[in-house]
Amino acid sequence: MSAAPLIAAPQAALPCVILIGMAGAGKTTVGGALARDLDWAFVDSDHLIESIYGARLQDVTDALGKEAFLDAEATVIRAIRAQRAVIATGGSVVYRPAAMAHLATLGALVFLDVPFALIEERVARNPERGIAMNPGESLRDIFDERQALYNRYAALRCPADAPPEDCARWIRVHLPPHSLEPKG
């Protein structure tokens, strides 16, 4: 059997589902569950950044500073060329419109909306989690600032304070059917 049919580009673009939300919202765990449910690939942009820099995300953020990190994150996001994938993004991706515009071309943007108290609890359990913050900014400051951005960009807002499998199921049920079908 020839490999040519396997590597040829598909006739129609196949969509992705892109998860946005705060650090601790569950993008990685919900994304993994959703990808398994759909039998799609799973991509975590934070893991891509860690593999490019060869360091933990928080170390990359600390070394670059917030603005340079946001630029680096946007560059990584704009380089993603995926189909039939669930993509978990970093919480700060919404600060760069070009990154968000690129993600919107890939598929439906889903905001995993989690109450601040739960975000605070989850982040406290994992203090090594990479969060792009300026000195003097609090988790509450960035939570409040980002909420409007997440809502602006999202095609769907998922109340994500349930177990990951329940959130994945909720997304599948509530995504418009065309979001899971080939484009073009």
Mean pLDDT of the chain: 90
What pLDDT, on the 0 to 100 scale, is given for residue 94?
Answer: 97
pLDDT one-digit tens code per residue, 13-68: 679 999 999 999 999 999 999 999 999 999 999 999 999 999 999 899 999 999 99
The reply, when asked if residue 25 is annotated as ligand binding, is yes
User: Which residues, in sequence order, are CB contacts of 33 under 8 Å at separation 6+?
Assistant: 164, 165, 167, 168
The reply, when asked if residue 91 is annotated as ligand binding, is yes
Say if domain 16-174 classifies as CATH 3.40.50.300: yes
* Beta carbons of 13 and 183 less than 8 angstroms apart: yes
pLDDT one-digit tens code per residue, 1-11: 555 555 555 55
The alpha-helical segments, DSSP class H, found in 80-138 are 97-106, 116-125
The reply, when asked if residue 28 is annotated as ligand binding, is yes
Q: Is the pLDDT of residue 79 over 60?
A: yes
Q: What's the pTM value of the predicted model, to 2 decimals?
A: 0.90
Question: By C-alpha distance, which of 79, 76, 84 is closest to 18?
Answer: 84
The reply, when asked if residue 66 is annotated as ligand binding, is no
Looking only at the bridges linking them, the beta strands covering 41-44 and 107-113 are unpaired
The reply, when asked if residue 148 is annotated as ligand binding, is no
What pLDDT, on the 0 to 100 scale, is given for residue 12?
Answer: 57
The reply, when asked if residue 84 is annotated as ligand binding, is no
Q: How far apart are the first and last CA of the chain?
A: 28
The reply, when asked if residue 26 is annotated as ligand binding, is yes
In whole angstroms, how far apart are CA 80 and each of 32, 140, 183? 18, 30, 17
The reply, when asked if residue 27 is annotated as ligand binding, is yes
The reply, when asked if residue 90 is annotated as ligand binding, is no
